[in-house]
Amino acid sequence: MKDFSFYAPTEVVFGKESEEQVARLVKKYGGSRVLVHYGGQSAKRSGLLDKICGLLDEGGVEYALLGGVVPNPRLSKVHEGIALCREKKIDFILAIGGGSVIDSSKAIAYGVPYEGEVWDFYAGKSQPKTCLPVASVLTIPAAGSEMSEASVITDDVHGEVWMKLGYSNNISRPKFAIMNPCRTFTLPPYQTAAGVTDIMLHTMERYFNPDCDMTLTDAVAEALMRTMKDCVFEVLKNPEDYRNRAQIMWAGSLAHNDVTGNRVNGDWATHQIEHELSAMFDVTHGAGLAVIWPSWARYVMKANVSRFVRFAVNVTGVENDYTDPEGTALRGIAAMERFYHAIGMPNSIHELIGREVTDEEIKEMARKCTRNYTITQGKFKVLRAEDIEEIYRMAR
């Protein structure tokens, strides 16, 4: 077993009516003037936003509201949040929503005490010394941001070509996460399926690593992925299936808090390649991952065929043909591709964006993915710009 560091300090309050504890938890972690950060109209329509505000009022906690977070959260909204926090002397940020809202909240938290441009952190130009405390009331299980140190922001401010970059720092791990599976009953099927895809990919990015000797961790990862495959079909049939909604919600956190593998040793090429796809075309992250992963897998498979054989057998249920390991591995990849399509995810870039992606667009995405050809992506197999271009072509 390789040396690793595990750090997951977030307090999780899970279950029906768990949001009733929000004021107590905010005060427990030092909050007195809270920015309640949320996305679109769903938080209002569902009554959750009003309920949280009412509970904060009852608890004597002052707050300001900032909505309008969109998928692939924007730097311009982060700037708006930083300005509001400084104006209102905010000392705590509470995200109501999914990964996009939580990521935006983390970026705001970094930016409030920082005198420079918060994008510096995502661009690798600076490191934060401190940030405001962040917490969440989770409504969309997918990104796992409620227990992770990571956030991803799209720069819609600097230049005509948008950049989507991630940044990770343990100081932004949420203080608490409130998880009520009932709050996910109204998620549309497409969003549910995209969320499960993202959950599984967070585990798969860690699972396909160059070490491959974490026996117990591998077993946990495989169990999580099999469970997600079963649960998603049940909730697509019955959106108010509490038992299976609960499994999905908890899996989203476990998939990204390093229980299923150390983030540092993971591959992450599929995520980085997809980030450029969603930055250019503003598509749903989980759907983009479903498009990219099979092509990535076929491209890198020979770097460690046995790893893909294990995945095929233990996760997708493919029978192991010991005389043809590559065939077993390829059947496992094809089985995942069929699974994605069965839950409503696209299988090609054309299906994802509604048209053929051009060679020029592919080259531009590969250039951005390698930061103007200065870095590589991936650890399972190191990928250069020409490799990434080929993966996009295979996926189109």
For residues 193-214, average pLDDT: 92
For residues 326-334, average pLDDT: 98
Q: What is the pLDDT of residue 20?
A: 97
φ, ψ at 93 (rounded to 5°): -120, 125
Is residue 44 helix, strand or coil?
A: helix
Lookup: tokens for 365? 């995405």
Strands ordered across the beta sheet of 92-97: 11-14, 176-179, 134-138, 92-97, 33-38, 62-66
For residues 69-75, average pLDDT: 95
Q: What is the pLDDT of residue 143?
A: 94
Q: What is the pLDDT of residue 262?
A: 82
Does residue 2 have a pLDDT over 90?
no
92-97 and 134-138 beta bridge pairing: parallel
* CB atoms inside a 10 Å sphere around CB 157: 14
Domains 11-183 and 189-395 share a fold: no
The full set of domain ranges for the chain reads 11-183, 189-395
User: Is the distance from CB of 182 to CB of 51 less than 8 angstroms?
Assistant: no
Q: What is the pLDDT of residue 161?
A: 79
For residues 341-351, average pLDDT: 98
Q: Which residues lie below 8 Å from residue 374, measured CB to CB, with a gap of 6+? A: none
The secondary structure of 105-130 as a DSSP string is: HHHHHHHTT-SS-THHHHTTS---S-
One-letter amino acid at 361 equals: E
Binned at pLDDT 50, 70 and 90, residue 365 comes out as very high
What span, in angstroms and rounded, lies between the C-alpha atoms of 131 and 93?
Answer: 10
For residues 215-244, average pLDDT: 97
Does residue 31 have a pLDDT over 90?
yes
163-168 and 150-155 beta bridge pairing: antiparallel
Does residue 1 have a pLDDT over 90?
no
What span, in angstroms and rounded, lies between the C-alpha atoms of 75 and 87?
Answer: 18
pTM: 0.94
Length of the chain in terms of residues written = 396
Does residue 144 have a pLDDT over 80?
yes
The average confidence (pLDDT) of the chain is 96
Q: What is the pLDDT of residue 381?
A: 97
Lookup: tokens for 113? 């005490």
Q: What is the pLDDT of residue 338?
A: 98
Q: Beta strands of 173-251 (E only): which ranges?
A: 176-179
Query: ∠ CA(289), CA(318), CA(210), 5° rounding?
Result: 55
CATH topology of domain 11-183: Rossmann fold (3.40.50)
Q: Exposed (0-12), middle (13-18) or buried (19+): which is 58, by Cβ within 10 Å?
A: exposed
Binned at pLDDT 50, 70 and 90, residue 275 comes out as very high
Q: What is the pLDDT of residue 63?
A: 98
What span, in angstroms and rounded, lies between the C-alpha atoms of 93 and 329?
Answer: 45
One-letter amino acid at 79 equals: H
What is the 8-class DSSP label of residue 377?
B
For residues 73-92, average pLDDT: 98
- CATH code for the domain defined by 189-395: 1.20.1090.10
Q: What is the pLDDT of residue 44?
A: 85
Lowest mean pLDDT among 138-142, 247-251, 252-256, 257-261: 257-261
Q: Please name the residue ranges forming H helices in 315-384.
A: 325-342, 349-353, 359-369
Tens digit of each residue's pLDDT (9 = 90 or more) over 293-323:
999 999 999 999 999 999 999 999 999 999 9
φ, ψ at 233 (rounded to 5°): -65, -35
